[in-house]
């Protein structure tokens, strides 16, 4: 029986890979990777390894989770070193739990190599601390994408004015804004949307909760950060901020006239 390594590929920039991830990729006989793993990271896989894209993207037909589980077991059963390469960190919204349960039940040896999750990469780009003893002593990480048939979450009960909320796969910004306002957050609460963080196509947009439903739908994958800490974000020429937004008037400098079109 071979061994399966769950490796975090980070948000895209190969500079954000851990040394452990690079070393593990060098050992691989087979690599099963997500659709969001960047070309730059895939280029680090040794030429002798077999590479299989098992990615699933929202709205597109792809390989079923049960098929991925079976494939992992099949290649491990041949004695191969298998890398399950997941974008970001393997244990955050990456369905690793289902794969781990399946492989553990089959007696497969497993090792997990953590990665930089998109929330941390986005906070680094904005130059904000997700927790700050002056205004944010709680961090809530959620996904706005729900499995078919799943009942509505009650996460909004956990939110306070001192909570930083990070939303993966925010989808419909208006629905997310409704949930956050129902949780008691003010319409003036700062928000930041970061698209394709750490990639050459990275984009960001800052506004307030009251104006979030008017924000442009930036390309996936996206991260939405909501909370008072966003008001401390460093300005960047890559940021787009609506000049009519209260956030623009109160906290941020106007972007350059050459701001990219949305």
**Looking at 23-37, 105-119, 130-144, which range is the least confident one?**
130-144
Note whether residue 256 is domain-resident. Answer: no
Q: Are 130 and 136 in contact (CB under 8 A)?
A: yes
pLDDT at residue 18 is higher than 80: yes
Q: Are residues 161 and 179 in the same domain?
A: yes
Q: Are 103 and 5 in contact (CB under 8 A)?
A: no
Confidence at residue 247, expressed as pLDDT on a 0 to 100 scale: 47
Confidence at residue 199, expressed as pLDDT on a 0 to 100 scale: 94
Q: Are residues 11 and 35 in the same domain?
A: yes
Note whether residue 8 is domain-resident. Answer: yes
Q: Are 34 and 94 in contact (CB under 8 A)?
A: yes
Q: What's 60's domain CATH number?
A: 3.40.1010.10
Q: Which of 34, 35, 17 is nearest to 113 (CA)?
A: 17
Query: Tens digit of pLDDT for each residue in 162-213?
Result: 999 999 999 999 999 998 998 889 999 999 999 999 999 999 999 999 999 9
Which sequence positions are flagged as catalytic? Answer: 34, 56, 169
d(CA 218, CA 193): 8
Q: Are residues 95 and 202 in the same domain?
A: no
pLDDT at residue 240 is higher than 70: no
d(CA 141, CA 125): 18
More confident position, 115 or 158? 115
Note whether residue 255 is domain-resident. Answer: no
Q: Are residues 109 and 93 in the same domain?
A: yes
Q: Are residues 61 and 97 in the same domain?
A: yes
Q: Which of 122, 211, 197, 105 is nearest to 166 (CA)?
A: 122
Q: Are 185 and 166 in contact (CB under 8 A)?
A: no
Q: What pTM does this model have? A: 0.85
Q: Are 9 and 86 in contact (CB under 8 A)?
A: yes
Which of 94, 113, 132 is where one domain is finished? 113
Q: Which residues form the domain of 203?
A: 118-250
Note whether residue 58 is domain-resident. Answer: yes
Mean pLDDT of all residues in the chain?
86
Q: Are residues 221 and 197 in the same domain?
A: yes
Q: Are residues 138 and 240 in the same domain?
A: yes
Judging by beta carbons within 10 Å of its beta carbon (0-12, 13-18, 19+), is residue 212 exposed, middle or buried? buried
Confidence at residue 234, expressed as pLDDT on a 0 to 100 scale: 75
More confident position, 169 or 156? 169
Q: Are residues 137 and 95 in the same domain?
A: no
Task: Using alpha carbons, list the distances in angstroms from residue 252 to 163, 165, 190, 235.
Answer: 21, 20, 11, 7
Q: How confident is the model at residue 85 (pLDDT cuts 50, 70, 90)?
A: very high
What total number of domains does the chain contain?
Answer: 2
């Amino acid at each position: 029986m071979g061994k399966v390594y769950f490796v975090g590929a980070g948000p895209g920039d190969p500079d954000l890979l851990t040394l452990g991830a690079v070393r593990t990729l060098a050992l691989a006989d087979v690599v099963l990777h997500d659709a969001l793993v960047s070309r730059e990271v895939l280029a680090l896989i040794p030429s002798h390894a077999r590479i299989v894209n098992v990615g699933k993207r929202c709205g597109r037909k792809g390989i079923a989770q049960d098929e991925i589980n079976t494939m992992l077991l099949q290649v491990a059963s041949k004695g191969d070193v298998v890398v399950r390469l997941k974008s970001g960190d393997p244990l955050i919204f990456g369905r690793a739990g289902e794969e781990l349960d399946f492989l553990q039940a089959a007696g497969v040896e497993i090792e997990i190599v953590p990665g930089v999750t998109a929330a941390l990469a986005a906070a680094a780009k904005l130059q904000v601390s997700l927790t700050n003893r002056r205004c944010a002593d709680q961090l809530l990480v959620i996904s706005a994408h729900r499995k078919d048939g799943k009942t509505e979450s009650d996460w909004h009960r956990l939110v306070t004015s001192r909570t930083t909320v990070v939303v993966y796969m925010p989808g419909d910004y208006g629905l997310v804004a409704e949930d956050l306002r129902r949780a008691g957050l003010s319409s003036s609460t700062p928000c930041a949307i970061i698209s394709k963080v750490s990639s050459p196509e990275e984009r960001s947009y800052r506004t307030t909760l009251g104006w979030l439903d008017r924000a442009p739908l930036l390309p996936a994958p996206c991260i939405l950060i909501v909370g008072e800490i966003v008001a401390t974000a460093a300005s960047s020429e890559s940021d787009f901020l609506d000049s009519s937004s209260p956030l623009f008037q109160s906290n941020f400098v106007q972007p350059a006239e050459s701001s990219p079109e949305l």
